[in-house]
Structure 1
Amino acid sequence: MDYFTNFFWGAFPWLAIAAFFVGIFWRWRTDQFGWTTHSSQIYESRLLRLSSPLFHWGMVFVIIGHLMGLAIPKDWTRAVGISDPAYHLIATIPGTIAAAAVVLGFAGLLYRRIVNKSVFLSTSRSDKVMYVFLGAAILSGTIATVSTQVFGGPHGYDYRETISPWLRDLLVFNLHPETMADVPWQFKVHVLAGFTIIAVWPYTRLVHAFSAPVGYVTRPYVVYRSRDQRATDMRSHTAWEPVRNHRSQLDKSETPSHGA
């Protein structure tokens, strides 16, 4: 048992983190043109317009909730006057709503990809692997939230006593795998699924999350040429005459001179 405890809560997370950074570096050096979402909007857009914002905005609030719960120590919230029962309500109610949005959005995207033939044919093997691992992380997190926080009593399970300090110590190379020994199995599955999705992240379309269009706001304007024959150039050319190819000019230049 000690071997599995040390591996899953000591070695495996860092293997996943190493795979993530190695994958990001490799993908950037070898596949920059593939660093994209591989959008399938051209095949179907109605269901995508409903499911994609629901999934992505729900995921934004889920990530914010994870960062607050895992990074902020329990003593800090108590120091600013937030009691443990109040913190439980603040974390559980918005977290459950965000989890519901993610599940509904993910279900809609998955349904669209399976049912729509054109979208299904454009799905690669890496996409299928990504959907499996991403679905496992979402489903396990939802089960953990509902079973231990919503229906787990008035105070739920206090993960800030075990999971949060374990993760903070892990990231500073101060390993304490024994801290995770008595954590409920729902959270254990979710943590393992989360680190697994981190490991496979760079090798799937999820890599597009790191491609923020920062340069878009400073890009030059796109200049379009008018198709209207009546449109004229606003600038006046004083030093040279542009070359023209009107039919009358060509015919005039080809006519032989009478004095030749």
Structure 2
Amino acid sequence: MTDYLFFAVFPYVALAVAVGGGVYRYSRERFSFSSLSSQFLDNRVLFWGSVAWHYGIVLILLAHLVALLFPGFWGRLLGDPLRLAAIEATGLALGLFTLAGLVVLLLRRIASPKAWAVATVMDLLLLAALLLQVATGLYNALVYRWGSLWYLSLAVPWLHSLACLNPDIKYIVPLPLMIKVHLVNAFLLLLLFPVTRLVHIVSIPISYLWRPWQVAVWNKRPIGS
């Protein structure tokens, strides 16, 4: 019963809250539809944490997405032992890189009086959930080897069954606890999407790619004038 609630019901609840809450927040509080950056408070520390976090997590999520959308291609890619080892090593390195960036951001948020002054409960909850997700991902990669293979053969079919509105939890039930925690926490992050800074991931200024060039004209007076 517990597995059914977590892996057949909770994903739909999280998705409904994410979509409905995101639309509501965009329509009612559009100004808050951003990361609410505190860069001006502590630029140098934020830079090192943010760069490692964003580059690492984007590449990891892309790998998960490719396996989900193109399982046949991903399976052929993993069919060669050398490519499999290279992908596993790269994923582990990216996980460590991401974890380092996230720890920097968390320590900055806690240790900096300026950043702490503007921190909210939801900020800390989000950072804790992100830290749990990255930590469990690394743990699973180290303890349960060849995660790219079992993700393809177990998690992907389960996610496809959810997309088809016919959840099949037989793929998930026999998995170890930490893998289940990783999967449930992923949907918890989706649930937190509309009430935290996560909403900024859908406000990327893509229009910058085709907008006209911005001309900046400096009007600086000569010294002594």
Give the drift of 1:125.
Answer: 2.1
One-letter amino acid of the structure 2 residue matched with residue 192 of structure 1: V
Q: 2:99 aligns with which of 103, 109, 124?
A: 103
Q: 1:135 aligns with which of 122, 131, 134?
A: 131
Give 2:155's aligned residue: 163
Q: CA RMSD in A?
A: 2.4
Give 3-state SS (helix, strand or coil) of 1:146's partner: helix
One-letter amino acid of the structure 2 residue matched with residue 116 of structure 1: S
One-letter amino acid of the structure 1 residue matched with residue 13 of structure 2: L
CA contact (8 A) 1:148 1:157 kept: no
Sort the Cα spacing of 1:226 and 1:202 in 2 relative to 1 into closer, same or farther, 3 A: same
CA contact (8 A) 1:65 1:91 kept: no
Give 1:53's aligned residue: 51
Distance in 2, Cα, partners of 1:203 & 1:101:
27
Identity %: 24
Q: Does 1:175 align with 2:149?
A: no
| Residues 112-163 of structure 1: CA deviation (Å, up to 9, x unaligned) | 111110111011222122112222212211211121127xxxx986232221
Give 2:20's aligned residue: 22
Distance in 1, Cα, partners of 2:67 & 2:214:
43
Give the drift of 1:10.
Answer: 0.6
TM-score by length of 2: 0.88
Give the drift of 1:81.
Answer: 7.0
Distance in 2, Cα, partners of 1:169 & 1:6:
13
Give ranges in structure 1 of 5+ residues lacking alignment: 230-260
Q: 2:200 aligns with which of 208, 231, 236?
A: 208
One-letter amino acid of the structure 2 residue matched with residue 170 of structure 1: L
Distance in 2, Cα, partners of 1:60 & 1:226:
40
Give 1:196's aligned residue: 188
Q: Does 1:148 align with 2:144?
A: yes
Bigger Rg, which one: 1
Distance in 2, Cα, partners of 1:50 & 1:210:
23
TM-score by length of 1: 0.77
Give the drift of 1:60.
Answer: 1.1
Distance in 2, Cα, partners of 1:204 & 1:77:
33
Q: 1:124 aligns with which of 93, 104, 120?
A: 120
Give the drift of 1:46.
Answer: 1.4
Report how many aligned residue pairs link the two structures: 221
Q: 1:62 aligns with which of 50, 60, 63?
A: 60
* Greater helix fraction, Structure 1 or Structure 2: 2
Give 3-state SS (helix, strand or coil) of 2:48's partner: helix
Distance in 2, Cα, partners of 1:159 & 1:205:
28
